[in-house]
Amino acid sequence: MNPKFKHSYLITGLFLCLAIFLLPASLSAQRKGERPARGKDRSAVSKPAAKSGRTNVNANDNKNVNVNDNKNVNVNNNKNVNVNNSKNVNVNVNKSTVVVANPRPYPRPPYAYGGHSYYAYHPYHYHPYTPYHYGPVWHPVGFFITTMAVTAMIVTVANQQYHYDQGVYYVASSNGYTVVPAPVGATITTLPPGSQTVVINETTNNYYYGGTYYEKKPEGYTVVPPTAGAVVENLPEGGKEVKVGEVTYVQVGETYYQPIVQDGKNVYEVVDVKADK
């Protein structure tokens, strides 16, 4: 063989060998170079998505806990405390709503109806409710006047100021004065003319006028709740007949009266109403 052609074959073979040897390494390097890029792309896509998901969860959870819980606690609880307690205080302080129990035992069982028992010492005897007229200066609860009489005096009970005049109690309202129930604890120096003595027991008497009961104290006459079993001749304007089963009572304010006959007269007895347990 010609030495010139032999040398050419050798060079060509050498290049072929190098190409065969280097081609797999180049492909391997190319694959290795592409994998990190793919991993980086996946990381860039996945991780922010996961982070965004956690942010949404936290934001929603906080909203549910902070906003809703605070609403339930602050709004609802304040409503229950402020509104319901204020109502209870006003009723207990300003109205004669409690009937004082009488220590004497009742000679007969109570009249039971609608989950309540109505205790009285005398037998029931119906007669129509006829309001008694106490005169031109006496007014029922809710009555409004524009000018207070010069004879009125100021009485303060539980930080509430009242105007008292001849058996009637007023509170100042817009452009005038409104009649309210006699506040328990109010003390006056002189009973209004026409007051009735009410025998409670052997040692205690009350004084009654226009639906209000008084007890004699060293400083004067103090408004007290009615005592169960007390008997009065007259009931004022502002009362109403209330049908309870087969019995008709007269309700004046928060007090129930049973119509009875005593010594041949139509009178009324204070009833002790108790819820059945």
| Both structure tokens of 7 | 């040398």
Residues 196/212, Cβ–Cβ less than 8 Å: no
Asked whether residue 194 is domain-assigned, the answer is yes
Q: How confident is the model at residue 65, as a pLDDT?
A: 36
Report the b/e string of 152-175 with b at 16+ CB within 10 A.
Answer: beebebeeeebbbbbbbbbeeeee
pLDDT number for residue 6: 47
Report the distance separating Cα 219 and Cα 34, nearest Å: 105
Q: What are phi and psi of 189, to 5 degrees?
A: -90, -25
Phi-psi region of 42 (alpha: psi -120 to 50; beta: other; left: phi over 0): alpha
Phi first, then psi, for residue 213 (nearest 5°) are -110, 140
Flag whether 105 is in a domain. Answer: no
Residue 192, in any domain of the structure = yes
Q: What is the mean pLDDT of the chain?
A: 77
pLDDT at 224 over 90: yes
Token reading at 90: 């006003």
For 144-197, how does the pLDDT look when each residue is reduced to its tens digit (9 = 90+)? 999 999 999 999 999 999 999 999 999 998 899 999 999 999 999 999 999 999
Is 61 among the domain residues?
no
What confidence tier does 75 reach under pLDDT thresholds 50, 70, 90? very low
Range from 26-35, 111-120, 211-220 carrying the lowest mean pLDDT: 26-35
- Residue identified by tokens 């982070």 is 51
Neighbours of 179 (CB within 10 A): 19
For a pLDDT cut of 70, what percent of the chain falls above it? 65
* Residue 12 domain-assigned (yes or no): no
Does residue 52 lie in a domain region? no
Number of structural domains (the chain) is 1
Structure tokens given for 232: 């009065």
Residue 13 falls inside a structural domain: no
